[in-house]
Chain A
Amino acid sequence: MGTTKTVHILHNSEQPASVFSILESGTKNIHVIADGLFDLLMMKLSQHYTSKKQTKIESKGPRFELGDFCVKLGSVTMNQNFKGILIEVEYRPCVMANAVWGLLREFLQGLLGPTVPVQPPQHLMSRMNEIYTPIDTIYQYLEHFSAYRKVTGMRNN
């Protein structure tokens, strides 16, 4: 098929009934959000593709609620090897990244220390004025997971 394409399948415990799938094809990302049976279909489809060694990477850990914030501390493992810690902070009342960014930065600096520079994630840069949906969280996780995949050993984040 010429270029190689990668299909990522992700699950998020915040949306337990949904499956998120992102297809990377060159510079384009195409996503689909589906219900749980999508996993079964992908198993069926995988017979039709020569798949690389599939790696499974997950971020797992406690989840805290603090006021309207939801904080998740995930330890990232790739094929059972520990890779690092991912911190997810979600402020749930607001749906526009642009409006809420100052507030989030204040919270993050309170959490991680005032010296930590906080930048909006790559994925959100172009979407600061769009309505935030669960797939945006998934894109951010994918960004970080891909970074972990490239780096061998430990990585600070």
Chain B
Amino acid sequence: MNQAINVEQLNSALTSLRTVRSSVSLVFETLSNGLRADHGEDGKDKFLMELQELLNIVSNNLRDLEQTVNGLPIPVPFNLGNTTYLSQETTQDRQALYTQLVNSYKWTDKIHEYSSYAHTLLSQNSLKRSYINSGSTKRRGKLQSNHNVAPLQVDNVINNIDRSYNDMKITISRPFASNAVVSINLSHVLKAVVAFKGLLMEWVMVKGYGETLDLWTESRHHVFKKVTENAHAAMLHFYSPTLPELAVRSFMTWLHSYVNLFSDPCKRCGCHLHHTSLLPPAWRDFRTLEPFHDECKQ
């Protein structure tokens, strides 16, 4: 409570300080402008009067300031830790703090901005698959264990999958706190990125070998847009909250079957290219992993 009042007083003190500053600068501005045309005939006197008035305002403002400052409680010295000695440090090399300070400032600023965006977005969309709004408490209690898995365990599962393929390289990174983002290089055919929440896959994006990988931008090639679409379907198909490890492994096996995306023809029509879409067989059967065109799969 006491704290709140302090802040208010401090604010008003700062405001009056600003008023003093601006009125002083007004004085200097008028002085530097000198006599103006609108001062008319006996310009000198008028100018002096104007100056007098401005100076009065300054002294009034100053009085206000003094009053508010006197009203302020004498601050208990803030505990700034080691930073208090910052001003006494003169060696330039030893205070390489500037860049770090700027960086941390930028970070907190960004976090603030993003979290407010995220908050509005998340409160608008009721996400079905995400933990954040998983309505009934019963289901939540069960799911939580798979959403909230120790990073080490996730690493183990993924690294195991990585070891079982020679031509598929899987790397894990964690740009967003503890949740893994996994990038997959499948031979020279494609790249994919999968975002995990615990051990559950949340998002997939597939791109070409030469493209740069990120979570949100689509590939510029039609075929990989199609594969991304199908990968989303597969992700949902394999989704199994009770056996998350099996789901990940099945998905990766399925994704690995794209290694012959360009070289194998469609199992049904026997052609590489479908005659209307001009795409190679971009669908893989969930069980047999055989290649089909989207149009041929029924």
Bound pair (A, B): yes
Interface secondary structure of A, over-half rule: mixed
CA distance A122 to B209 in the complex (A): 25
CA distance A47 to B223 in the complex (A): 50
Q: Which of B83-132 contact A (CB under 8 A)?
A: none
Residue numbers in A under 8 Å from B223 (CB-CB): 68, 93
Chain B interface residue number, banded: 20 to 34
User: In the complex, how many angstroms separate the beta carbon of B269 from the nearest chain A beta carbon?
Assistant: 11
The answer to whether A96 and B273 touch across the interface, beta carbons within 8 angstroms, is no
Interface secondary structure of B, over-half rule: loop
The answer to whether B262 and A103 touch across the interface, beta carbons within 8 angstroms, is yes
CA distance A67 to B278 in the complex (A): 6
User: In the complex, how many angstroms separate the beta carbon of B209 from the nearest chain A beta carbon?
Assistant: 5
B271 in the interface, Cβ–Cβ < 8 Å?
A: yes
Residue numbers in B under 8 Å from A38 (CB-CB): none
User: In the complex, how many angstroms separate the beta carbon of A71 from the nearest chain B beta carbon?
Assistant: 11
User: In the complex, how many angstroms separate the beta carbon of B27 from the nearest chain A beta carbon?
Assistant: 58
Instruction: Decide: A68 near B272, CB < 8 A? Known: A96-B188, A99-B262, A102-B265.
Output: no
- Interface residues of A, count at CB 8 A: 18
Nearest chain B residue, comparing its CB with the CB of A131? B188
User: In the complex, how many angstroms separate the beta carbon of A101 from the nearest chain B beta carbon?
Assistant: 8
Nearest chain B residue, comparing its CB with the CB of A104? B272
Residue of B188, B219, B261, B271 touching A106 (CB-CB under 8 A):
B271
User: In the complex, how many angstroms separate the beta carbon of A137 from the nearest chain B beta carbon?
Assistant: 14
B283 in the interface, Cβ–Cβ < 8 Å?
A: no
Residue numbers in B under 8 Å from A69 (CB-CB): 278
B40 in the interface, Cβ–Cβ < 8 Å?
A: no
Among A68, A93, A102, A131, find the residue whose CB has the most chain B CB atoms closer than 10 A: A93
CA distance A90 to B208 in the complex (A): 15
Q: Which of B219-246 contact A (CB under 8 A)?
A: 219, 221-224
A92 in the interface, Cβ–Cβ < 8 Å?
A: yes
User: In the complex, how many angstroms separate the beta carbon of B265 from the nearest chain A beta carbon?
Assistant: 7
A141 in the interface, Cβ–Cβ < 8 Å?
A: no
CA distance A98 to B272 in the complex (A): 14
Q: Which of A77-115 contact B (CB under 8 A)?
A: 92-96, 98-100, 102-103, 106-107, 110
Q: Which of B135-181 contact A (CB under 8 A)?
A: none
Q: Which of B229-288 contact A (CB under 8 A)?
A: 260-263, 265, 271-273, 277-280
Residue numbers in B under 8 Å from A100 (CB-CB): 262-263
Among A67, A96, A100, A107, find the residue whose CB has the most chain B CB atoms closer than 10 A: A67
Residue of A93, A99, A107, A110 touching B263 (CB-CB under 8 A):
A99
User: In the complex, how many angstroms separate the beta carbon of B185 from the nearest chain A beta carbon?
Assistant: 12
B210 in the interface, Cβ–Cβ < 8 Å?
A: yes
The answer to whether B278 and A68 touch across the interface, beta carbons within 8 angstroms, is yes
B31 in the interface, Cβ–Cβ < 8 Å?
A: no
Residue of A92, A99, A107, A131 touching B273 (CB-CB under 8 A):
A107
Among A69, A98, A103, A106, find the residue whose CB has the most chain B CB atoms closer than 10 A: A103
The answer to whether B277 and A67 touch across the interface, beta carbons within 8 angstroms, is yes
Residue of B221, B260, B265 touching A93 (CB-CB under 8 A):
B221
Q: Which 8 A-B pairs have the closest CB atoms?
A: A67-B278, A93-B221, A103-B272, A99-B263, A100-B262, A99-B262, A94-B262, A106-B272
Query: What residues make up the interface of B, taking CB atoms closer than 8 Å to A?
Result: 188-189, 208-210, 219, 221-224, 260-263, 265, 271-273, 277-280
Query: What residues make up the interface of A, taking CB atoms closer than 8 Å to B?
Result: 66-69, 92-96, 98-100, 102-103, 106-107, 110, 131
